[in-house]
């Protein structure tokens, strides 16, 4: 079991930085970019009106009923692929499948090296043929596309979109590659791979295009859609001393996270990452490059804010709101074990009350874990408090534990403190202050900035057995409901580890953050929830057909059942919760309602408007009901 599954900022991070803080008194592919080929110039040079005329049209009636596979007679000819390659400046690549290294022998050196690399998210991110999650037992297993366009800009993306549409190909998009649902890979497909589009430019006075009369200039950062959060935080916080709301995990892609809504450690104060989107450059299914913001294509803009990735268009650039950086951030981490089921119930009950009274505000985010071995593990972060203030907050709870020392054993001592926020993602500063919080890309020549939180290591290359989420309404924190919530958490913990992610529910957030969240496509339940509950389980890198590295199907199914039973205990008290599209069950029932609530109807309309023929398909995405599960055949 991976006890910290889905945890982007774990206890270890908190403990290590606070530990260091205490000790030191505030130790608190691509090829190089080739000259951009202007699509319009290319069209002019070729004398074509539309790129689509460069490749032969298939004999299918449009819209396609069945997409074309390499084994079909209608698969584009080599000459057609060659023309696409020319259109994208030589950046069409045939996709390798790294796991082939193990197909002939799983004992060879090549296979061993591969499995070591599968624990490195930067190796995975640099390989267009694999994904950060390798699969889901009984759900999916990662498979390479046939070809990938390693896009440099919107024009490359448009050329790939036109080619896929006109040849009835299955099209797939990959940024950071972190989809748990496998929505950024598909066999027999053409991939648009944005990995190398990661420029970041900060502007002090950004006004969305067409919004001059309604929007005051404000600081913003524009990033290429292949940017991962480590790169965005480096540009905005470490280098420029400002704040941008992104995700917790450093290797998640900006475009994928924003389109699913997106939460980071400090979202309880700053709100949803998607709510900070000011403008996007998007290529829609008709091959047009569009600007989407509050004043231009505002329906598309709204859908991009939480309507799910790979569905409404292919984003080439995103401009995000930039804010002032508070001076301090920090955390609190410790683990307590109860001596019996009864004392564990009491501990949970006490913690629920303490959370409501002391932590249910925009200072505190991240997680509490409740596990079957009667442990409560705290790995929380705070914003804007100094060390003394943050310790004072926890003192009443720690006093209560101390008074019941026969019932409760502190397994790891409380580490509570703060540090300068500017250095939160600062690799050099963390190193200098002996904060052992990051793992680093150890490949020769790798950038020293290629790091990921220790706590995220368990999910690199993993295979999922079960993963479910549920928004927990704040009404459960009322005096007369706390007992019910505590009992549900206890009952759930009999089946597996339950995580409450407090930063992924906006009850307790500032009104401005809640209002901004309401203007996104995410399930409105998020605004009334004090936390997102997550239950997940999985195993280290594995792949079907590789001896000694096979997914453990029997164990996986059992674990998947346990995850489901565990979550059902919480559903019994939070039935209307809904789930977070990006962190949810591959087999989610009624996903439309669960992910988007009443917003689904509007999303479906926008999908019909911008992609009437369903070129963009992802598993359990808006409009996916009209296709077979593999996205190849229209139902």
Ligand X SMILES: Cc1cc2nc3c(=O)[nH]c(=O)nc-3n(C[C@H](O)[C@H](O)[C@H](O)COP(=O)(O)OP(=O)(O)OC[C@H]3O[C@@H](n4cnc5c(N)ncnc54)[C@H](O)[C@@H]3O)c2cc1C
Task: Provide the binding-site residues for ligand X, judged by CB under 6 A.
Answer: 8, 132-133, 173-180, 183-184, 194, 225, 247-249, 252-253, 255-257, 259-260, 262-263, 309-310, 314-315, 456, 459, 582-583, 618
Which residue's CB is nearer to ligand X, number 184 or number 390? 184
For ligand X, the closer CB: 176 or 497: 176
Q: What 3-state DSSP class applies to 191? A: strand
β-bridge mates for residue 415, sequence order: 333
The CB-of-340 to ligand X minimum distance in angstroms stands at 34
CB of 291 to ligand X, least distance (A): 15
The smaller minimum CB distance to ligand X, of residues 184 and 450, is found at 184
Which pair of tokens denotes residue 62? Answer: 């449009």
Nearer to ligand X, 253 or 473 (CB): 253
* Residue 504 backbone phi and psi in degrees, to 5: -110, 25
Q: Considering the complex, what minimum distance in angstroms separates the CB of residue 190 from ligand X? A: 13
CB 229 within 8 A of CB 252: yes
Of 74 and 599, nearer to ligand X (C-beta) is 599
Min dist CB 127 to ligand X, Å, is 13
Q: Please say which residue, 133 or 523, places its beta carbon nearer to ligand X.
A: 133
Within 25-120, where are the H helices? 39-46, 78-87, 109-117
For 231, which DSSP code? Answer: H
- In whole angstroms, the minimum distance from the beta carbon of 137 to ligand X comes to 16
Least Cβ distance, residue 505 to ligand X (angstroms) = 12
Q: How far is the CB of 49 from ligand X (least distance, A)?
A: 26
Which CB atom, from 488 or from 529, has the smaller least distance to ligand X? 529
Q: What is the 3-state secondary structure (H, E, C) of 271-290?
A: CCCHHHEEEEEEECCCCCEE
Nearer to ligand X, 28 or 149 (CB): 149
How many angstroms separate the CA atoms of 182 and 262, rounded? 17
From CA 154, how far away is CA 158, in angstroms rounded?
6
408-420 vs 438-440, strand pairing mode: unpaired
- Tokens in use for 229? 């959060």
Between CA 434 and CA 593 the distance in angstroms is: 46
- Which whole-number Å values give the CA distances from 462 to 11, 98, 105, 422, in the listed order? 20, 15, 21, 32
CA distance 562 to 496: 7
Q: Are strands 200-206 and 135-136 parallel, antiparallel or unpaired?
A: unpaired
Cα distance from N-terminal residue to C-terminal residue, the chain: 38
CB of 157 to ligand X, least distance (A): 8
Residue 55 or 312: the one with the smaller Cβ distance to ligand X is 312
Residues 6+ apart with CB under 8 A from 266: 243, 245, 329, 365, 381, 383, 503
Nearest distance from C-beta of residue 174 to ligand X, angstroms: 4
């Amino acid at each position: 079991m991976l006890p910290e599954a889905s945890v982007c900022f774990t206890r270890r991070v908190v403990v290590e930085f606070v530990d260091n803080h205490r000790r030191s008194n505030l130790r608190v592919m691509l090829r190089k970019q080739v000259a951009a080929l202007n699509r319009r110039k290319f069209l002019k040079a070729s004398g074509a009106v539309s790129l689509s005329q460069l490749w032969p049209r298939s004999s299918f009636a449009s819209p396609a009923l069945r997409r074309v596979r390499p084994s079909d007679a209608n698969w584009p000819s080599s000459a057609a692929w060659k023309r696409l390659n020319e259109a994208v400046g030589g950046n069409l690549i045939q996709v390798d499948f790294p796991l082939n290294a193990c197909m002939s022998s799983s004992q060879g050196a090549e296979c061993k090296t591969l499995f070591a690399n599968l624990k490195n998210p930067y190796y995975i991110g640099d390989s267009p043929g694999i994904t950060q999650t390798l699969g889901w037992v009984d759900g999916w297993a990662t498979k390479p596309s046939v070809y990938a366009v390693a896009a440099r800009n919107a024009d490359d993306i448009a050329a790939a979109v036109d080619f896929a549409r006109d040849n009835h190909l299955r099209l797939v998009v990959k940024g950071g590659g972190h989809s748990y649902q496998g929505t950024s890979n598909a066999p027999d497909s053409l991939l648009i791979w944005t990995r190398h589009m990661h420029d970041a430019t900060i502007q002090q006075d950004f006004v969305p295009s067409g919004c001059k009369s309604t929007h005051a200039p404000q600081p913003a950062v524009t990033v290429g859609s292949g940017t991962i959060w480590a790169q965005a935080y480096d540009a905005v916080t470490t280098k420029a001393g400002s704040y941008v709301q992104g995700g917790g995990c450093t290797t998640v892609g900006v475009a994928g996270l924003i389109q699913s809504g997106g939460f980071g450690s400090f979202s309880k104060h700053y709100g949803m990452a998607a709510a900070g989107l000011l403008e996007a450059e998007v290529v829609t299914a008709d091959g047009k490059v569009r600007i989407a913001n509050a004043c231009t294509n505002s329906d598309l803009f709204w859908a991009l804010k939480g309507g799910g990735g790979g569905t409404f268009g292919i984003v080439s650039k995103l401009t995000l709101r930039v804010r002032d950086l508070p001076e301090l951030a920090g955390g609190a981490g410790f683990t307590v074990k109860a001596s019996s089921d009864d004392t564990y119930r009491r501990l949970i009950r006490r913690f629920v009350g303490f959370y409501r009274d002391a932590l249910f505000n925009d200072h505190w985010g991240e997680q509490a874990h409740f596990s079957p071995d009667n442990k409560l593990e705290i790995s929380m972060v705070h914003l804007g408090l100094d060390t003394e203030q943050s310790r004072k907050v926890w003192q009443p709870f720690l006093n209560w534990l101390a008074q019941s020392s026969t019932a409760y054993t502190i397994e790891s001592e409380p580490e509570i403190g703060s540090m300068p926020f500017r250095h939160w993602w600062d690799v050099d500063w963390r190193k200098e202050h002996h904060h052992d919080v990051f793992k680093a890309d150890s490949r020769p020549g790798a950038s020293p900035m290629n790091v990921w939180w220790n706590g995220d290591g368990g999910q690199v290359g993993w295979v999922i057995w079960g993963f479910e989420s549920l928004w927990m309404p704040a009404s459960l924190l009322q005096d007369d409901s706390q007992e019910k919530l505590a009992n549900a958490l206890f009952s759930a913990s009999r089946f597996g580890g339950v995580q409450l992610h407090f930063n992924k529910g906006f009850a307790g957030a500032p009104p401005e953050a809640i209002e901004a969240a309401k203007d996104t496509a995410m399930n409105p339940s998020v605004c009334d929830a004090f936390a997102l509950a997550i239950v997940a389980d999985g195993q280290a890198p594995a792949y079907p057909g590789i001896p000694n590295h096979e997914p453990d199907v029997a164990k996986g199914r059992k674990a998947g059942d346990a995850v489901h039973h565990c979550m059902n205990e919480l559903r019994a008290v939070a039935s209307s919760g809904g789930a977070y599209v990006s962190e949810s069950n591959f087999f989610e029932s009624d996903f439309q309602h669960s992910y988007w609530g009443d917003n689904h109807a509007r999303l479906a309309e926008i999908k019909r408007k911008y992609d009437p023929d369903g070129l963009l398909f992802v598993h359990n995405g808006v409009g996916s009901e009209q296709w077979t599960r593999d996205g190849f055949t229209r139902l």
